[in-house]
Structure 1
């Protein structure tokens, strides 16, 4: 049993990752400064669950003895990153990451897997490749790119035992997805009949990736043959928002009323992932298509008690 650490363990992707790591037999320590949004328990028997703040608390004890650190803790969201909140994004996504990297280097961690984002690419033309120029269109994307580069710089130190794989996730969805994200809002509108706010004209395209595929790629990254690598993790297909809304309506069996408004700053016209490097280094091929993944997310939402659905109205 190798010992691993997961930061952001109570989050959407983090909670799924912890479950899979536990099932694989890893000795898991989880770190988060927040409670799970839906109060879903992680997994019975998780080795250690530690409540601490990566930005302020001492990290040596939780990192000591870990072979792999999965760093998923972050402040998410493109639209919320403008204005006075930017300091929070900078502190959480960049400064906290640098503090964790220092401890990983000092404690001889072998591999750090960093959860990056397709937002680092910005307004891309065609499938985004890891070697493409990154031109993020939001402060959030800027902080994720900065944190990604910080991780790589620590791996490139001659005296560092640490290797890094940064995974650029493309729009992850599935059970426990944040209420403010697209599929959560679509499904909630379908279930309730309340209007869905559509930003822009609906022609913008996104590559959606089911959470179990993201978890599989993240776990594979722990043992990939790499020193300082960036790898895309996508769902294998890019669809328009109108197509996604139609599919969500089909899955639930109800129409989704729309309230169209202007597009938001930082929203890119399209995302699409080149997955050649993921296939080569991670053996990764997405296995859950959009219809199946949306059906699973809808089934999870359908089973939520009414008091938990309040989160989707905020």
Structure 2
């Protein structure tokens, strides 16, 4: 029986990945800061950080394959250096320990947020920008982490990269950026928005895609695991239709949105110490976003994501239900 370690297995994508692996008969171990709210009895849980080399090494004992998902997914943290520590240094620690243990196969989970066009003619998948060209600390840390994975692959370690776009679905308890965005647009009647291309994907398809990448992906290759590329304005209309409420949508210029987000971030940093509703890095990512192709994952892995609207409806219904139950959404 294949033994698998999932770092970050208690997170949104990780939880669905663990369930999918168990359903496929894998023996699964999770390394995360805490157990999920609904822990599976078949799964072994190690509570702790990927920044703890001894714990990482212990969690790898007897493991054949590693899915490395652990990281900070949000755009704001009270301590900015945490992005580099967890996303980059954590990846370095896990890769080093996995190589020492002789792990047969390693999947690094990256993010679409680091894929930008350097010009109108460039394909961001084949001509990625450097870490110094990233729009902020989060993306810089994720780009450096991906570079570590690619370097390991180039030196002979069997590493493949899975790159989810914006996963949605129910039970996103940590409120990842896509779910937080939808929650925000379930608010007041006046909706201020920055229109950009959003690629939404059912989180269950991301989990299935990561397994396909592990099993079929070429070493050193990146596979974009997305769904449908949709303008945000269209998503807002769909949200209004699902909720059966008419809202006033007002498009905001990119420069103004970035300035406003920077102010919100400044207040969060020095006053509230709570995540702001927008960050300057998030706006910069949106302003540079473009449609990404999943053709490579489809052709090489057999990746077949389902239509995203049912997942969008389920997510919105879950958020509305949480609000109705007094959970502050």
TM tier, shorter chain? 0.7 to 0.9
Could you tell me how far 1:276 is from its partner in structure 2?
2.2
Gap regions ≥5 residues in structure 2: 259-279
Bigger proportion of residues as helix: 2
How far apart in 2 are the matches of 1:214 and 1:53?
Answer: 24
1:58-99 CA-to-partner distances (Å, cap 9, x unmatched) read 122211221111111101123x26xx7331100000001101
Could you tell me how far 1:143 is from its partner in structure 2?
1.1
Match of 1:86 in 2: 80
Q: Does 2:66 align with 1:66?
A: no
How far apart in 2 are the matches of 1:216 and 1:148?
Answer: 21
Q: Does 2:285 align with 1:267?
A: yes
Decide whether aligned partners of structure 1 residues 127 and 77 sit closer, same or farther in structure 2, where only a CA change above 3 A counts. farther
The equivalences for 1:60-139 within 5 A come to: 60-78=57-75, 80=76, 85-123=79-117, 125=120, 128=123, 130-134=125-129, 135-139=133-137
Of 147, 150, 158, 1:149 maps to 147
Decide whether aligned partners of structure 1 residues 6 and 127 sit closer, same or farther in structure 2, where only a CA change above 3 A counts. farther
Count of equivalent residues: 295
Match of 1:167 in 2: 162
User: 1:123·1:137 contact (CA, 8 Å) conserved in 2?
Assistant: no
- RMSD, matched Cα: 2.6
Normalising by structure 1, what TM-score? 0.84
How far apart in 1 are the matches of 2:298 and 2:122?
Answer: 15
SS in structure 1 opposite 2:257?
coil
Normalising by structure 2, what TM-score? 0.80
Match of 1:176 in 2: 171
Q: Does 2:52 align with 1:56?
A: yes
Could you tell me how far 1:267 is from its partner in structure 2?
2.8
How far apart in 1 are the matches of 2:87 and 2:190?
Answer: 30
User: 1:63·1:104 contact (CA, 8 Å) conserved in 2?
Assistant: yes
SS in structure 1 opposite 2:215?
coil
SS in structure 2 opposite 1:142?
helix
User: 1:251·1:291 contact (CA, 8 Å) conserved in 2?
Assistant: no
Could you tell me how far 1:254 is from its partner in structure 2?
2.5
Could you tell me how far 1:303 is from its partner in structure 2?
4.3
How far apart in 1 are the matches of 2:88 and 2:220?
Answer: 18
User: 1:112·1:164 contact (CA, 8 Å) conserved in 2?
Assistant: yes
User: 1:197·1:259 contact (CA, 8 Å) conserved in 2?
Assistant: yes
How far apart in 2 are the matches of 1:225 and 1:186?
Answer: 32
How far apart in 2 are the matches of 1:176 and 1:89?
Answer: 24
The equivalences for 1:134-283 within 5 A come to: 134=129, 135-158=133-156, 162-177=157-172, 178-179=174-175, 181-187=177-183, 189-190=185-186, 193-194=187-188, 198-200=192-194, 203-235=195-227, 237-256=228-247, 262-264=256-258, 265=280, 266-269=284-287, 270-283=289-302
Decide whether aligned partners of structure 1 residues 234 and 189 sit closer, same or farther in structure 2, where only a CA change above 3 A counts. closer
Select between 268-277 and 13-22 the one with higher mean Cα deviation: 268-277
Gap regions ≥5 residues in structure 1: none
Q: Does 2:21 align with 1:21?
A: yes
